[in-house]
């Protein structure tokens, strides 16, 4: 099996990867959508992640670890897209003016908590989504993001502080600029 896995093009291994991906396709698409805030881009990202998973099937040593392995691929694809988007974003000017009908973009309209979450920086929002939406432990979040657990904790702390400020208002501090 090791030899077969090493080829990465072995039909059985690739088939297994695709079967596992099929079972989690809805979740993967939704996670990508929440991260990217855009239905079409989520579709692109999920597709790209599927291809990367298929191409790198050899790197999946233990099928039991498929979830974390594929999550990491998907999150990396999404982060690449956020990074590119953060630098330069090309959009049709008319698109910007159209009312949103994107369920991922519209979640901020649901309540003040989600609005505060969507206002976070990309990395903070990632941590929040993986921990609270995907129900992952901080260690599992760290594994998917490739960060030390301490970094995940500090990002989470910062994200929650920022959300608290937006949702609850300040709790302390005197007048100042």
Q: Which of residues 65-94 bind other proteins (CB under 8 A)?
A: 82-94
Q: How far is CA 123 from CA 28, 58, 70, 75, 152, in A?
A: 18, 29, 19, 11, 9
Interaction pattern, residues 144-173, with other proteins; x per rule: CB under 8 A: --xx---x--------xxxxxxxxxxx--x
Nearest Cα residue to 71 out of 108, 31, 33, 37: 31
Among candidate residues 53, 42, 109, 129, the one with its CA nearest the CA of residue 81: 42
- The conformational region for residue 132 under phi > 0 = left, psi -120 to 50 = alpha, else beta, is alpha
Token pair 């982060």 is at which residue?
A: 79
Q: Minimum Å distance from CB 5 to other proteins?
A: 17
CB of 44 to other proteins, least distance (A): 5
Sketch the per residue contact string, 32 through 61, with other proteins: x for CB under 8 A, - otherwise. Answer: -xx--x-xxx-xx-xxx-xx--xx------
Closer residue to other proteins in complex, CB, 5/107 = 107
Chain positions 109 to 138 lying near other proteins, rule: CB under 8 A, are 110-119, 121-123, 125, 128-129, 132-133
Tokens of 41: 């881009």
Q: Which CB sits closer to other proteins, 34 or 141?
A: 34
- Total of chain residues touching other proteins, rule CB under 8 A: 84
């Amino acid at each position: 099996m090791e030899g077969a896995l090493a080829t990465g093009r072995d039909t059985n291994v690739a088939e297994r990867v695709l079967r596992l991906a099929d079972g989690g396709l809805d979740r993967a698409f939704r996670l990508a959508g929440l991260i990217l805030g855009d239905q079409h881009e989520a579709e692109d990202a999920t597709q790209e992640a599927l291809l990367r998973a298929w191409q790198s099937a050899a790197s999946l040593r233990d099928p039991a670890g498929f979830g974390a392995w594929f999550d990491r691929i998907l999150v990396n694809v999404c982060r690449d897209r956020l990074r590119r988007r953060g630098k330069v974003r090309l959009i049709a000017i008319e698109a910007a003016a159209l009312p949103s009908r994107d369920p991922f973009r519209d979640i901020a309209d649901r309540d003040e908590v989600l609005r505060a979450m969507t206002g976070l920086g990309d990395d903070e929002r990632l941590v929040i989504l993986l921990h609270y939406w995907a129900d992952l432990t901080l260690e599992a979040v760290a594994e998917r993001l490739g960060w030390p657990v301490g970094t995940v904790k500090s990002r989470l702390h910062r994200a929650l502080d920022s959300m608290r400020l937006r949702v609850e208002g300040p709790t302390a501090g005197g007048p100042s600029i």
